Chain A
Amino acid sequence: MNRDINVKQMRINCFRQSKVPGEFMLQMRVPGGVVDAKYLDNVRYIAQTWGDGNFHIGTRQTFDITGIKYDDIPAVNAYLEEYIREIDQELCEVDMDQVAHQPQPWDPKSGYPTIGARNISACIGNYHCICANINTFALASELEKIIFPSHYHIKINIAGCPNDCNKAHLCDFGIIGVGKMVYHPERCIGCGACVRACIKGSTRVLELNEENGKIIKDECCCVGCGECVRACPASAWTRSEEPLYRVILGGRTGRQTPRTGKMFLNWASKDVIIGVLKNWQEFSAWVMDYKPEYLHGGHLIDRAGYKKFKEIVLKGVELNPECLVAEDIFWHETEYRSNFNVKPMEMHHTAGPRNGTD
Chain B
Amino acid sequence: MSYALNIQQANAVLDEIRKDYTVFAPKRFPKQGRYSDTDIIRYAEISRFEDIVWDTKSDYPAKEVLTPIQQAIFYFTEDEYRESKGPKKPYLVLARPCDIAAQHVQQKIYAGNGGYTDVYYERVRKLVRFAMMECNGGDDTCFCVSMGTNRTDDYSLALKFSSEGVKVQVTDDDFTGYFKECPKAKYTPSFVEENELKVTVPDLDNAEVRKALKTHPMWNEYNSRCISCGACTVACSTCTCFTTRDVIYGDNPEVGERRRVTSSCQIEGFDQMAGQKEMRSTAAARMRFKVLHKFHDYKARFGDSHMCVGCGRCMHRCPEFISIAATVNKMSRAVEEIKAGMAEG
Interface residues of A (CB under 8 A from B): 126, 130, 132-135, 177, 179, 185-191, 193, 211-213, 226, 229-236, 238-241, 243
Contacts and interface: CB of A to CB of B under 8 A. Distances in A.
B30 A241 contact: yes
Nearest to B69: A187
B35 A186 contact: no
B70 to A, nearest CB: 5
Contacts of B42: 235
Given A191-B267, A233-B231, A243 B261 contact: no
B247 interface: yes
A145 to B, nearest CB: 22
Give the contact-size bracket for chain B: 20 to 34
Contacts, number: 84
A190 B261 contact: yes
Contact of B319 (A230, A234, A240, A241): A230
Nearest to B37: A126
B35 A212 contact: no
Nearest to B32: A238
Interface string B219-241: 00000000001110110000000
Nearest to A233: B231
A189 B29 contact: no
Contacts of A190: 245, 261
Contacts of A133: 36
Interface in B227-282: 229-231, 233-234, 245, 247-248, 261-264, 267
Contacts of B248: 211-212
Given A193-B229, A213-B245, A233-B234, 4 more contacts: A185-B70, A186-B70, A239-B31, A239-B32
9 contacts: A186-B68, A187-B69, A189-B230, A211-B248, A213-B245, A213-B261, A233-B231, A233-B234, A235-B33
Contact of A233 (B29, B35, B68, B264): B264
A56 B123 CA distance: 69
A211 B245 CA distance: 9
A186 B229 contact: no
Nearest to A234: B234
Which interface residue of A177, A185, A189 has the most chain B CB atoms within 10 A? A189
Interface string B302-317: 0000000000000001
A243 B36 contact: yes
Contacts of B30: 241
A188 B267 CA distance: 14
The secondary-structure label for the interface of chain A is loop
Contact of B40 (A126, A230, A238): A238
Nearest to A130: B35
A135 to B, nearest CB: 7
Contacts of B264: 189, 191, 233
A187 B70 contact: yes
B126 interface: no
Contacts of A243: 36
Nearest to B35: A130
B45 to A, nearest CB: 14
A198 to B, nearest CB: 14
B316 to A, nearest CB: 13
Contacts of B317: 233
Nearest to A190: B261
Contacts of B247: 211-213
Contacts of A239: 31-32, 36
B60 interface: yes
Interface in B4-45: 29-37, 40, 42
A230 B320 CA distance: 12
Interface string B196-221: 00000000000000000000000000
Nearest to A129: B35
Contacts of B234: 189, 233-234
B41 to A, nearest CB: 10
Contacts of A134: 36
B31 A230 contact: no
A322 to B, nearest CB: 17
A209 to B, nearest CB: 10
B261 A189 contact: yes
B29 A238 contact: yes
B262 A132 contact: no
Contacts of B231: 233-234
Contacts of A236: 69
A212 B70 contact: no
Nearest to A236: B69
B249 to A, nearest CB: 10
Interface in B67-93: 68-70
Contact of B69 (A177, A189, A212): A189
A171 to B, nearest CB: 22
Contacts of A212: 245, 247-248
Which interface residue of A186, A233, A240, A241 has the most chain B CB atoms within 10 A? A233
Contact of B230 (A135, A179, A186, A191): A191
Contacts of A230: 34-35, 319
A179 B248 CA distance: 32
A241 B31 contact: yes
Nearest to B59: A235
Q: Which 5 pairs between the two chains have the least Cβ-Cβ distance?
A: A233-B231, A238-B32, A126-B36, A233-B230, A233-B229
A189 B31 contact: no
Contacts of A240: 31
